[in-house]
A and B are shown apart, each in its own frame.
Chain A
Amino acid sequence: MAIRERLSGNEAISYAIKQVNPDVMPAFPITPSTEIPQYVANYIANGEMDTEFIPVESEHSSMSATIGAQAAGARSLTATSSCGLALMWEELYVAASNRLPLALCLVNRALSGPININCDHSDSMGARDTGFLQIYAENNQEVYDNFVQAYRIAEHKDVMLPIMICQDGFITSHAVENIELLEDEKVKNFVGEYCPENYLLNEKQPMAMGPYAVSNYYMETKMAQNTAMNNAKKVILEVGKEYGALSGREYGFFEEYRLDDADYAIVIIGSAAGATKDAIDLLREQGMKVGLLKLRVFRPFPDEEIANALKHCKTVAIMDRSECFRGKGGPLGAEVKAALYDYAKDVKAFNLIYGLGGRDFTVADAKRIYEDLMAYDKDGQAFEEYRYIGLRG
């Protein structure tokens, strides 16, 4: 029987970490992810898990030590947010190119400046090209479920890439929700033991990691990483299905909410999907055919699948919770539009920036977007290709 609990997002992922019981966790505190290493340290202090915790002196060192531990042959992870992720920057690339299937629990927070501790996706979106797998959550249940699946995806022999399990700072990390947990044994069996093929502490065969590679070799390593990223698509679906059989909650690349017959759709990542779903229910009562595509997996990017799910829509609003300063929209907007160009040219898509630095995204905001999408389609009302919503009056 599943265990019913009331947990914050940080508690939920920490509980999942306890159940997975990885070997090594180096971490450095930063709001709002600080609680994760705190909870883990407490579990260890109380003998509830036997992970080795390394209280490093910075996030650069937390990722460096995680890389060292994982390379040595230990299942490893760390947790961070915002500037902590930014400080790890070069190490994210090193982890990915060394093909180390370590896990990073990211609690999304705005990057400085100005310094701001609240949610947006500028940290993980900035790290989108590092070679990490990226999986996002709408709520605390998904945070828990995503972490339980993380190592199964990352460690798959066709993948072997680091994985970032993302959740929205404060909105899920600190809000308490009712969730269902799996029994320890079930998690343990589902995740299985980590048995790397090559590792530093392999007594039978020493290994060297982190070479200097000249132009004759470098390019092939990138191609290999990209192949692994593509392979991850199949693995994510397989693991999501298997997890569904175990928990009753199956996962894919994204969730479609009343999207089947929708004329007008929003594409969004993370917790703001909740307010969007409420707006959809309200508008559906008024007869408006509106729906949602909530993206769960951003890396690898399921472009064809997204385009296919949206191809029947008349107008789509792609919602970005981060800027990339290209002057024409955010990163999600750029990638979804590219997907539509390749697979569904007739869908008119707009790109909206919302929720930066913890700015609220409300049901009314979502409702207005749907109404604007419809007004553009039906009445030819102007709709800027790219705009900010929720700005101060």
Chain B
Amino acid sequence: MSYNFKAEMNKPERLAPGHRMCAGCGGTITVRAVLRALHEGDKAVIGNATGCLEVSTFMYPYTAYEDSYIHNAFENAGATMSGVETAYNILKIKGKIDDTYKFITFGGDGGTYDIGFQSLSGAMERNHDMVYVCYDNGAYMNTGIQRSSATPMYADTTTTPVGKQSDGKMQNRKDLASIIAAHDVPYVAQSTLLGNFKDLHQKAEKAIYTPGAAFLNVMAPCPRGWKYPTEDIMEICKLGVETCYWPLFEVDHGKWILNYEPKKKLPIEDFLRPQGRFRHLFKKGNEHLLEQFQAEVDRRWEDLKFRCSRD
């Protein structure tokens, strides 16, 4: 697939400006990037789990979406969109709709990894022709930075606060992309906000136009929750990839594909140091915590490379 950055950026926006998301929010950038992958002329219904995105882009009586949009609740974005998609199929059969519609649902990691996990699993297993996009910022940011199962180990959150007896979150993050890939859906990919957005754009386009269920996991940093200067978001995302903390890969009809392998894998400190939520890891005496973090990144990276090495 060819990719023309300028042409893509000149497309009409499907998420109008004027919404109430924070400046530099990774979630908003993700939504705009994914929606750009819709072909002009195709209509869409956008779904949304409750979260920052929902309460900031559809505050009555204003919607920021040019397309039809439905928010239902926190834990059921998958099921809700499966109903919309099914309605489309039968109304199309009955001749009540002519246009082509695509179905794209957005959820944060809270609405996706945790409370909405069952609903997502059901929708994926039933293979509805829809895309579920998780904008993963690694905590419940809407309610004020509480840990989720997407939160990386040792992160300082408001429910895993660092203190005399605590080094932050005690558990590793859930590998949701692998879990959804295990549903045997046609397309799963992991991406983030990089350079000219080619990686995310192409994956979004593939996800939208591959028949059946597709899942995109997009690392979408939250400047408030991660505690880094807002303008550094692209650098943070890049470091996530260059340290192999957030590898870029696809699972296309069961085939694991590694999209990018850094020439020189950077140490995890480079990703963690700019983020205030990991500040305690750089205190004297906590070197072993960094070593553990690095060991987990390495283990997952090697495991991914192994999966992608099979024909």
Instruction: Mark A residues whose CB is within 8 Å of B.
Output: 23-24, 26, 50-52, 54-58, 60-62, 64-74, 76, 90-91, 94, 200-203, 206-214, 217
| Contact residue among A51, A68, A212 (Cβ-Cβ distance under 8 Å from B58) | A212
Q: Does B234 contact A (CB under 8 A)?
A: no
| Contact residue among A50, A56, A200 (Cβ-Cβ distance under 8 Å from B84) | A200
How far apart sit A41 and B276, CA to CA, in the bound complex (Å)?
A: 55
Q: Does B82 contact A (CB under 8 A)?
A: yes
CB pair A94–B83 under 8 Å, yes or no, is no
| Contact residue among A65, A203, A211, A214 (Cβ-Cβ distance under 8 Å from B80) | A65
A68-B79, A208-B58, A214-B60 known; A74 vs B90 contact (CB < 8 Å): yes
Contacts of A58 in B (CB 8 A): 118-119, 122
Contacts of A23 in B (CB 8 A): 87, 90-91, 94
Distance in angstroms from A269 CB to nearest chain B CB is 30
* Top 5 closest pairs, chain A to chain B, by CB: A68-B83, A65-B83, A57-B122, A72-B87, A74-B87
Distance in angstroms from A87 CB to nearest chain B CB is 11
Instruction: Mark B residues whose CB is within 8 Å of A.
Output: 43, 45, 47, 54-55, 58-61, 63, 65-73, 75-76, 78-84, 86-91, 93-94, 96-99, 101, 118-119, 121-122, 125-126
Distance in angstroms from B38 CB to nearest chain A CB is 13
CB pair B73–A90 under 8 Å, yes or no, is yes
Which residue of chain B lies nearest to A212 when distances are taken between CB atoms in the complex?
B55
CB pair B93–A68 under 8 Å, yes or no, is no
How far apart sit A201 and B89, CA to CA, in the bound complex (Å)?
A: 11
How far apart sit A56 and B76, CA to CA, in the bound complex (Å)?
A: 12
CB pair B86–A210 under 8 Å, yes or no, is no
Which residue of chain B lies nearest to A98 when distances are taken between CB atoms in the complex?
B72
How far apart sit A67 and B84, CA to CA, in the bound complex (Å)?
A: 8
Contacts of B55 in A (CB 8 A): 212
How far apart sit A71 and B85, CA to CA, in the bound complex (Å)?
A: 11
| Contact residue among A61, A69, A207, A210 (Cβ-Cβ distance under 8 Å from B119) | A61
CB pair B72–A201 under 8 Å, yes or no, is no
CB pair A68–B88 under 8 Å, yes or no, is no
Q: List 17 A-B contacts (CB under 8 A).
A: A26-B82, A26-B86, A52-B90, A56-B82, A61-B122, A72-B45, A72-B84, A72-B88, A73-B96, A74-B91, A76-B83, A76-B87, A200-B45, A200-B68, A210-B58, A212-B54, A214-B59
CB pair B66–A206 under 8 Å, yes or no, is yes
Most A Cβ at <10 Å: residue of B54, B65, B78, B90 = B90
CB pair A24–B83 under 8 Å, yes or no, is yes
Distance in angstroms from B48 CB to nearest chain A CB is 8
A206-B66, A211-B63, A212-B55 known; A55 vs B90 contact (CB < 8 Å): no
CB pair B87–A69 under 8 Å, yes or no, is yes
How far apart sit A304 and B60, CA to CA, in the bound complex (Å)?
A: 36
Distance in angstroms from B187 CB to nearest chain A CB is 21
How far apart sit A56 and B119, CA to CA, in the bound complex (Å)?
A: 9
CB pair A201–B58 under 8 Å, yes or no, is no
A213-B60, A217-B60 known; A68 vs B70 contact (CB < 8 Å): yes
Which residue of chain B lies nearest to A209 when distances are taken between CB atoms in the complex?
B70
| Contact residue among B73, B94, B97, B121 (Cβ-Cβ distance under 8 Å from A57) | B121
| Contact residue among A52, A61, A201 (Cβ-Cβ distance under 8 Å from B45) | A201
| Contact residue among B66, B72, B89 (Cβ-Cβ distance under 8 Å from A68) | B72
Contacts of A207 in B (CB 8 A): 68-69
CB pair B91–A91 under 8 Å, yes or no, is no
Which residue of chain A lies nearest to B67 when distances are taken between CB atoms in the complex?
A206
A61-B79, A65-B79 known; A203 vs B87 contact (CB < 8 Å): no
CB pair B84–A68 under 8 Å, yes or no, is yes
CB pair B101–A201 under 8 Å, yes or no, is yes
If A72-B87, A90-B73, A201-B88 are given as contacts, then 16 extra A-B residue pairs at C-beta distance below 8 Å, sorted by A number, are A26-B79, A52-B89, A57-B121, A60-B76, A67-B72, A68-B47, A70-B87, A71-B83, A72-B83, A74-B86, A201-B87, A203-B43, A206-B66, A206-B69, A210-B70, A214-B59
CB pair B65–A208 under 8 Å, yes or no, is yes
Which residue of chain A lies nearest to B101 when distances are taken between CB atoms in the complex?
A201
Distance in angstroms from A101 CB to nearest chain B CB is 14
Which residue of chain A lies nearest to B80 when distances are taken between CB atoms in the complex?
A68
Contacts of B78 in A (CB 8 A): 61
Distance in angstroms from B221 CB to nearest chain A CB is 23
Most B Cβ at <10 Å: residue of A74, A90, A202 = A74
Contacts of A57 in B (CB 8 A): 118-119, 121-122, 125
How far apart sit A74 and B101, CA to CA, in the bound complex (Å)?
A: 15
Which residue of chain A lies nearest to B82 when distances are taken between CB atoms in the complex?
A65
How far apart sit A214 and B59, CA to CA, in the bound complex (Å)?
A: 8
| Contact residue among B47, B60, B86 (Cβ-Cβ distance under 8 Å from A212) | B60
Contacts of A56 in B (CB 8 A): 79, 82, 122, 126
Distance in angstroms from B127 CB to nearest chain A CB is 12
How far apart sit A213 and B61, CA to CA, in the bound complex (Å)?
A: 8
CB pair B83–A64 under 8 Å, yes or no, is yes
| Contact residue among B60, B69, B75, B87 (Cβ-Cβ distance under 8 Å from A73) | B87
Distance in angstroms from A207 CB to nearest chain B CB is 5
How far apart sit A71 and B71, CA to CA, in the bound complex (Å)?
A: 11
Which residue of chain A lies nearest to B70 when distances are taken between CB atoms in the complex?
A209
Contacts of A91 in B (CB 8 A): 72-73, 76
Contacts of A70 in B (CB 8 A): 83, 87
Contacts of B122 in A (CB 8 A): 56-58, 61
CB pair A217–B61 under 8 Å, yes or no, is yes
Distance in angstroms from A355 CB to nearest chain B CB is 34
Contacts of A94 in B (CB 8 A): 72-73
How far apart sit A56 and B81, CA to CA, in the bound complex (Å)?
A: 12
A91-B76, A206-B66 known; A67 vs B90 contact (CB < 8 Å): no
CB pair B83–A69 under 8 Å, yes or no, is yes
Contacts of B119 in A (CB 8 A): 57-58, 60-61, 64
